[in-house]
Amino acid sequence: MQEIRKQLKNVIKNLYDLDIDLDLTPAPDNVDADYSSNIALKLAKELHKAPMEIANEIKNNLPNTEVSAPGFINFTLSDDFLQSQINSLDTDFATNIASNEFTGKTVICEFSDPNPFKVLHVGHLYTSIVGDSISRLFEYAGAKVIRANFGGDVGLHVAKTMYILQQKDTANLRIEDIAKCYVEGTAAYEDDEHAHAEITKLNKEIYKINSEDLHDTDLAKLYWHGRELSYDYFKDFYAKIGVKFDKFYPESTVADLGLEKVKEELEKGVYEMSDGAVIFNGEKFGLHTRVFINKEGVPTYETKDVGLIFTKWQDYHFDKSVVITGSEQLDYMKVVLKSIEQYAPDLVEKTNHLTHGLVKLPGNVKMSSRKGNFLKAIDVLDMINDELKNTYNSTDEKVSLAATKYAFLKYKMGGNIVFDPKESVKMTGNSGPYLLYSAVRAKKILTNYKSKDLINNCTYNKYEKNLAKKILEYKDVLKEAVKEMAPHKVAGYLYELAQEFSRFYENCPVIGSKEELSRIKFVQTYFKIISHGLGILGIEIPEKM
């Protein structure tokens, strides 16, 4: 498709002196062609000509093209052309799919963002998997990528937890114990006036522990112990799912810079005083108003996010910053970024805020971390492991992770998704294990192949041609996925590719056939693409299944 698009653009440039983007799609079933373009219809108004007239002018300057009403240009690919493209792609795969769109640029991707003193839930697992895949897309495009993780080591949730922890025996403290304390502390804060006042007081004391780096009081010792347990737990879990982070930003490390910026812009009128607190009046911009420094002088989440964006800039001078959160943070981030836009518009312009919906189990059960009835991240992995063991007697971690990651990545980010463990492990259908099985099948063919002095076949049947066309779409898919920061486009393509390979496998014997040489090229190229695509999704191929 790249070569067709290039030729079509050259013809349009020569005929009309126009340099434009082109749409090229698979031809409809009722058209005897491989690809179609509607560019003649788009040019009609600008050129003051009928679409069919433009289409015929282009056809006369392009080989292997036909036109159809009301002005489509249809392309038929010869077997020789397809074979040359497949051979070229197989010979120098890395060069032929390479992208330099972000070469020399720095991209910081912030995702997962769990709060210490809480356990990781399914939402953290989802954003960790999606964020890592988006990071891999930018790396494919040549960028230097920094994977960043921002977490609330100070704030009301910590104070609620610490209020209960102080009443417990903490000799053998575990992260699960800490999580239970948060649930108890939340209930106490909401239902008990005395507890509410004590937690409010603790919130200020904990902020002071960080800002003054205190370690000698009982409260400080308990706080640092709990925080250390939390970060060790996070790192162990990320290693388990194959996701790495280059930088952890605890909120306490960016709060002071955020305070400095907000107070500085308060003097200039960006922020305002209201009833003893510092606010940003979002109503002026069609948004809502939020507090940035509360009445006690403690910075809120908003001010810490201000500090974060400036800290990222100081650390990396990024060309692009991607922030991935749940969709419930959408309006919040609009206010934060709008406030920063008033005094640092260049940083906001470089920032992309992406959101994802909720992850739900079949049955639409509502879950809440505040109530303690949420789905933990480790629960998801255990569900997948149990399904694999019960269904296939398999304990292969690569298959388990493939099932988990693909179950999330196949969806377009934004809406809610239903996570169904049974569907996720199926060896047939749109699942990670299905893609792995297809890759392993191709790998087995290549293992059994012995190089021979054969004639390369130049006549393709429909299964070979369909597979060839799908293979040649890969670079276009990657380009779109990078542009839109959309791993689901890679996932969807790989599923379609695997389906074409399955049809090819069932109908086109490879080893020992008279078409062995040309067909082995298909298998070699297919395996390279599915391996690369699964790598973008953070999925490894096992040796066997």
Q: How many CB atoms lie within 10 A of CB 316?
A: 17
93's CB contacts (< 8 A; 6+ apart) are 525, 528, 529, 532
Is this model's pTM higher than 0.95 or not? no
- Report the range of poorest mean pLDDT among 134-143, 363-372, 424-433, 529-538: 363-372
* Under 8 Å between Cβ of 457 and 517: yes
The two tokens of residue 142 are 């040549």
Q: What is the CATH number of domain 377-536?
A: 1.10.730.10
- Is residue 175 pLDDT above 60, yes or no? yes
Domain boundaries, the chain: 2-76, 377-536
**Residue 360, Cα to own-chain centre: how many angstroms?**
18
Query: What is the average per-residue pLDDT within 324-348?
Result: 97
Phi then psi for residue 534, to 5 deg, are -65, -35
Q: How many CB atoms lie within 10 A of CB 249?
A: 21
Query: What is the average per-residue pLDDT within 209-222?
Result: 90
* Under 8 Å between Cβ of 309 and 321: yes
Mean pLDDT of the chain: 93
Structure confidence by residue, pLDDT tens digits, 111-156: 999 999 999 999 999 999 999 999 999 999 999 999 999 999 998 9
Structure confidence by residue, pLDDT tens digits, 298-314: 899 999 999 999 999 99
Structure confidence by residue, pLDDT tens digits, 191-206: 999 999 999 999 999 9
How many CA within 13 A on the CB side of residue 142? 13
Reported confidence tier of residue 531, pLDDT bands at 50, 70, 90: very high
Q: Can you give the C-alpha Rg of the chain in angstroms?
A: 28
Dist. CA 80–CA 295, nearest whole Å: 75
**Residue 113 corresponds to which amino acid?**
D
Query: What is the average per-residue pLDDT within 242-262?
Result: 96
* Under 8 Å between Cβ of 354 and 487: no
Reported confidence tier of residue 5, pLDDT bands at 50, 70, 90: confident
Which residues, in sequence order, are bridge partners of residue 323?
Answer: 110, 353
Q: What is the CATH number of domain 2-76?
A: 3.30.1360.70
Residue 454's pLDDT is 63
Structure confidence by residue, pLDDT tens digits, 48-102: 999 999 999 999 998 888 999 999 999 888 888 898 899 899 889 999 999 999 9
